Amino acid sequence: MLNKEKQKKLLQLARKSIEHYLYTREFYIPDDEDFADDEYQQVVGVFVTLTESGKLRGCIGNIEGVEPLYIAVVRNAVNAGFYDPRFYPLEPSELDKIKIEISILSKPKKLEYSSQAELIQLLQENKPGIILKQGTRSATFLPQVWEQVANPEEFLSHLCLKAGLVESCWKDSNTEILYYTVESFEEE
């Protein structure tokens, strides 16, 4: 787990990346020496979530790591602000209104269960992040989504729809369900 100082530094990096991109249309390149600590260099899944007045304004990330954490924060902050297809790109007037949250993901693991009832019980008890896969389609919800969708059946149904599948796809034996946990922190 990152200490508060390192969390704050990553949140500041995310905000600076968004501001830099807004005015230059170029990705911010941080000084590597400022992020030389092993914790910043870890290659892990990371999402950056933007909210405005408590409502989702953008969320983009990688389920599994593809680059050092601090570089992933830069890339995903910009992508959440300007390239989430659900939202229009951020405007300068929104900079002071958005709140940034960073979620660092554990490595996903296959969720083992023997029945739909057991699956529902596991989700109800643990409320993890979920990845749902069927064929070439997949989607994920961070654990924070449980705050808006507390019912496990509804949670899974929404995830099926997000993946472009039928609402009941989670009941299909060809659907793979993986889980993960997150370390999340946000601007105060």
Question: Does residue 28 contact residue 17 with C-beta atoms inside 8 Å?
Answer: yes
Average pLDDT estimate for 6-28: 97
- 188 band by pLDDT with thresholds 50, 70 and 90: confident
pLDDT of 130-168, one tens digit each?
999 999 999 999 999 999 999 999 999 999 999 999 999
- For 105, the enclosing helix (H) or strand (E) is strand 98-105
**Domain residue ranges in the chain:** 4-105, 109-181
Distance of CA 125 to the CA centre of its chain: 21
* CATH number of 4-105, picked from 3.50.50.60, 3.30.700.20, 3.20.20.140, 3.40.50.800: 3.30.700.20
Task: Name the one residue in this structure whose structure tokens are 């990152």.
Answer: 2
Q: Give residue 3's pLDDT.
A: 95
Question: Does residue 75 contact residue 61 with C-beta atoms inside 8 Å?
Answer: no
Q: Name the average pLDDT for the chain.
A: 95
For 109-181, CATH gives 3.30.1490.150
For 155, 157, 175, the CA distances from 171, given in Å and listed in that order, are: 13, 9, 8
Task: Name the one residue in this structure whose structure tokens are 């529902």.
Answer: 120
